[in-house]
Amino acid sequence: MEAPPTPPVALGRLLADGELGLRRLAGPAEAEVHGVHASEMADPSPYLLGGELLLTAGAGLAGAEARSGDAPRDGGADAGPYVERLVRAGAAAVGFGVTPVHETVPRTLVEACARHGLPLVEVPPATPFTAVGRAVWRLMEEARTRELRRVTEAQQSLAAAAARPDPVPAVLTRLAAGLGGWAGLLTPGPEPVPAPGTGPGPDPGAVAGWFGLGWSVVRSAGGAPGAEVRAAVGALGRRVAPGAAATATDTLAGTHLAAYAVGGGQVLALATPGRAPGDHTIASVAAVLLTLLTANRPAGDEASALTRLLLGGDPARALAPGPWHVVHARGSGDPRTLGAALGTVLLDPYEGGVRLLTDREPVPQPGWRLGVSAPAAPGALATADAQAARALDRAEAARTPLARHSDPGFAGLVGEAEARAHAEALLGPLPTALRETLRGWLAHHGGWDRTAADLGVHRNTVRQRVARCAELLERDLDDPDVRMELWFALRWAEAPGAGGGPAPVRSPRPDG
C-alpha cells in the first residue's frame, strides 16, 4: 500500500500543548501547519513554500518596517507590509518569541495580523523555537500514523463489502461513508427505465437529471449532489472514461470532485466536502474492486479473481505472473471463438471490438485484425491495454491482420502525431521563456533553488514565472497528474521534428 502524504498539523493542537505555553494574540484560531521556519530576515517570504509556522523574535521586523516608509504609530512602525508579504507567500501563522529583542509583541504586528487574518501566537521566553519545531514534527508523524491506520481500515472495510451478496452498492455505501460524501457508479447513456413487470427500477439512491449529461447512475450512496456538481462530475467522467486518464479531480465551491476509470466506459464518481491525504488511496482501492465486480468475465472467473484479491490484498495477485499480452481485436466473428483460438477465456467485448488477455503469444486469426501489446506483468496491464489499442489502430491503417507494440515510451501510448498535437495545444499559451522555466522546475521536482541555479536566475524569478505558467495554463501545478501531463507535453514539444529538439544545456544568465 502506498503511504498517503503527511497531513498538516492543526494550529489548535499546538495551542493546546501546555508544555509549549503558546498564546494566540490575533487572527483565526485554526490554521493548517505544514512545517516550521525560523527567520529574523526583514523579508523571509522568498524562503517560504507555503503553510509554514514562521518563528521570529522580531530582529528583522524593524528593517522591514523602515523599508516600507510608513510613519511609526505609538512608538512602533507599521508592520503591515511585513505581514502582507507573509500572507502572499502563504505562511500559515507567525510565532513571535518575546525577549531578548522585544519585551512584548509589538502592537502594530498584532494589529496587522488581525487586519490580514494571519494567526499570531506568542512564544514565551521559556520555550525554545526548537521545542516548537519538534512538537510540529511529532504531531505530523502522529497524524501520518492515524492516516495510515484509517486507510488500512478503509481497505479492509471495502474488501468486506465486496464479498457481500450485493457487492456494488455495498462498496459504494462503505466508500461514501468513509469519505463523508457521495459516491456513484456512472455508465454512459440515459437513465435506465425497465419495461413493466421486468423487475426493480433504477437505483432509488441514484441522482436524477443525468440524462442531459450523457450519463446514467447505476448505483450511488450518500447525499445527492446538486446540478452544478453533477455537471462538473460528468465532465470529469468524460476525461477518464475513454481511458485517456485513470483519474481526474476538480473543486467546485468547496466540494472536492474526483472520477476514476472503472472499465467498459464506466466511472466511479465522488463528491466530498473535504479531501484528506489518504482519500485518493481509498478511492483507488474501491475503483479496483468495482472494476472486478462489474467486468464482463466468464462465470466463476470474477469470484476467483475477487477471492484472490481479498485474500492477498493486491490486484496483481488475481492473475498468474505471466507474462501477459493484451489484445485488441476488430472483426465479424464470435469473440469467444477468438478467445479460444488465442488460448484465453479472459475477454471484454465492447462496441466495435473486443479486448482479450492471454498468456500465449498471439498469432493472426482469420476474419480479425489484432493489436498486441508488449509482454507485461499483471501490475502493468493498464499500460499494455493502451499499447494494444494503438497497435490495433496501426493494423487497421496498414490493413494488416496483426500489429504488435513496438514504439517505446510515450509514443507507444498515444502515438507521435497525437502527442505533438496535444503538446502544442496545451503549451500554446506559454512563451519560450516560460516553457524553459517550467521544464526546469519540473525536472528538479519543484525545487526553487536548483531550478534557479540551472537557469541562472534568482529563485524569486522562478516563483514568479511558475506562478505565471499556472495562471496562463489555468492548471493547478501542485496536482501530480497535471505535472506529469505538462512534463510529457514539454518533452514532445522539444522532440526532434516538433520544431524543437532536446533541451539545450544552458549557461547561467545574469537576469533575475
Residue range 5-40, pLDDT digits in tens: 678 899 999 999 999 999 999 999 999 999 999 999
CATH number at residue 428: 1.10.10.2840
Say yes or no: 309 and 270 in one domain.
no
Is residue 505 assigned to a domain? no
Say yes or no: 284 and 176 in one domain.
yes
List the one residue out of 277, 29, 7 whose CA is nearest residue 136.
7
Is residue 462 assigned to a domain? yes
Using pLDDT thresholds of 50, 70 and 90, give the confidence band for residue 184. Answer: very high
R_g over Cα of the chain: 28
d(CA 210, CA 483): 31
Domain ends where: 381, 404, 427?
Answer: 404
d(CA 141, CA 157): 24
Whether the predicted pLDDT of 415 surpasses 80 = no
Using pLDDT thresholds of 50, 70 and 90, give the confidence band for residue 199. Answer: very low
In three-state secondary structure terms, 443 is helix
Whether the predicted pLDDT of 303 surpasses 80 = no
Using pLDDT thresholds of 50, 70 and 90, give the confidence band for residue 245. Answer: low
More confident: 214 or 326: 326
CB 321 within 8 A of CB 308: no
Residue 187 burial (CB count, 10 A): 19
What average pLDDT does the segment 352-378 reach? 87
Whether the predicted pLDDT of 433 surpasses 50 = yes
Say yes or no: 227 and 276 in one domain.
yes
Is residue 409 assigned to a domain? no
d(CA 121, CA 118): 10
**pLDDT given for residue 160 in this prediction:** 80
The least confident of 100-109, 134-143, 374-383 is: 374-383
List the one residue out of 270, 316, 280 whose CA is nearest residue 480.
280
Whether the predicted pLDDT of 424 surpasses 50 = yes
More confident: 307 or 286: 286
The least confident of 83-92, 405-414, 440-449, 465-474 is: 405-414
Most confident residue range from 190-194, 219-223, 245-249: 219-223
**pLDDT given for residue 5 in this prediction:** 61
**pLDDT given for residue 210 in this prediction:** 59
**pLDDT given for residue 510 in this prediction:** 32
Say yes or no: 181 and 284 in one domain.
yes
CATH number at residue 60: 3.40.1390.20
Say yes or no: 82 and 116 in one domain.
yes
Say yes or no: 106 and 16 in one domain.
yes
d(CA 473, CA 430): 8
Question: How many CA atoms are closer than 13 Å to the CA of 20, on its beta-carbon side?
Answer: 24
Say yes or no: 181 and 243 in one domain.
yes
Whether the predicted pLDDT of 413 surpasses 70 = no
> Given the C-alpha cell 479486448, which residue does it identify?
355
Residue ranges of E strands in 361-407: 368-372, 402-404
51 phi-psi bin (left φ>0, alpha ψ -120 to 50, beta other): left
Is residue 354 assigned to a domain? yes
Bridge partner list, 249: 258
Is residue 149 assigned to a domain? no
d(CA 494, CA 56): 45
Whether the predicted pLDDT of 204 surpasses 60 = no
Largest CA distance in the chain: 93
**pLDDT given for residue 319 in this prediction:** 62
- Expressed as residue numbers, the domain containing 184 is 164-191+210-294
What average pLDDT does the segment 322-331 reach? 88
| SS3 assignment for 261-313 | EEECCEEEEEEECCCCCCHHHHHHHHHHHHHHHHCCCCCCHHHHHHHHHHHHC
Whether the predicted pLDDT of 511 surpasses 50 = no
More confident: 51 or 244: 51
Say yes or no: 110 and 178 in one domain.
no
- Classify residue 366 as exposed, middle or buried by CB count within 10 Å of its CB (0-12, 13-18, 19+): exposed
CB 119 within 8 A of CB 26: yes
Tens digits of residue pLDDT in 373-398: 999 887 788 888 888 988 898 888 77
CB 48 within 8 A of CB 54: yes
d(CA 13, CA 27): 16
Tally the domains of the chain. Answer: 4
- Classify residue 16 as exposed, middle or buried by CB count within 10 Å of its CB (0-12, 13-18, 19+): exposed
Say yes or no: 273 and 187 in one domain.
yes
Say yes or no: 19 and 101 in one domain.
yes
d(CA 243, CA 382): 9
Is residue 395 assigned to a domain? yes
In three-state secondary structure terms, 219 is strand
Domain ends where: 101, 122, 139?
Answer: 139
The least confident of 86-95, 222-231, 295-304 is: 295-304
Tens digits of residue pLDDT in 61-88: 764 444 444 444 434 568 999 999 999 9
Is residue 270 assigned to a domain? yes
What average pLDDT does the segment 486-500 reach? 66
d(CA 95, CA 308): 52
CB 444 within 8 A of CB 437: no
What average pLDDT does the segment 148-171 reach? 83
CATH number at residue 220: 3.30.450.30
What average pLDDT does the segment 44-51 reach? 90
In three-state secondary structure terms, 20 is coil
* N-terminal to C-terminal alpha carbon distance within the chain: 43
Domain ends where: 271, 294, 317?
Answer: 294
- Phi first, then psi, for residue 230 (nearest 5°) are -60, -45
Say yes or no: 50 and 118 in one domain.
yes
Is residue 244 assigned to a domain? yes
Tell me what percent of the residues of the chain surpass a pLDDT of 70.
79
Say yes or no: 47 and 63 in one domain.
yes
Q: Is the bond leading into 124 cis (omega within 30 degrees of zero)?
A: no
CB 463 within 8 A of CB 46: yes
Using pLDDT thresholds of 50, 70 and 90, give the confidence band for residue 503. Answer: very low
484 phi-psi bin (left φ>0, alpha ψ -120 to 50, beta other): alpha
What average pLDDT does the segment 146-173 reach? 84
